Structure 1
């Protein structure tokens, strides 16, 4: 993936996304907010009353691949590693939740 600071971020990526993680305990709803900060892609992800800044956020404009890490504190501390593809107003991929396993996620732009 391209370095975050050297990319041309399309408007289709920027904005608020409803992201659902399809885990073993049922669907988990999150909100992903992506912003262009002077050519740098930044963002947050929120769920269960917590908002976390995204780490290692990257986007490849050539193939639509996006990846980020969300370090959550609840219900237990975990480093969630997301990797997916943005296609128009939808996003899909997998999240690796360390010892909890790997699960699919889907999302739509709000």
Structure 2
């Protein structure tokens, strides 16, 4: 069984005080007058290797993310994604990008474990 590898993170630049403690990669749009405090926070990525449609081994990233939105942007996404969520993305943003609530992520993890256990016992 291959364990997911923790992605190496570069030295963390100074972050504003309103960044979550787990934030190591974020997009700050504070200078934009149309979206003050519209910030995308991302935690450290766990890398999980998987095969794509062409049977090439690719790195899939799994991490916590959160949009810290300006008040007038709140409500533009489903309510349960207005809080920190789990993000799954492929090598490029166009290939694979999923946003899961913590509950959805736990359900996916349980389904993956059941399928892996079944695959291990298959003939």
The interval holding the TM-score normalised by the smaller chain is 0.3 to 0.5
- Hey, which of these two has a bigger chunk of strand by percent? 1
TM-score, structure 2 normalization? 0.34
- Hey, which of these two has a bigger chunk of helix by percent? 2
Question: Larger relative CO (CA 8 A, sep 6+): 1 or 2?
Answer: 1
TM-score, structure 1 normalization? 0.37
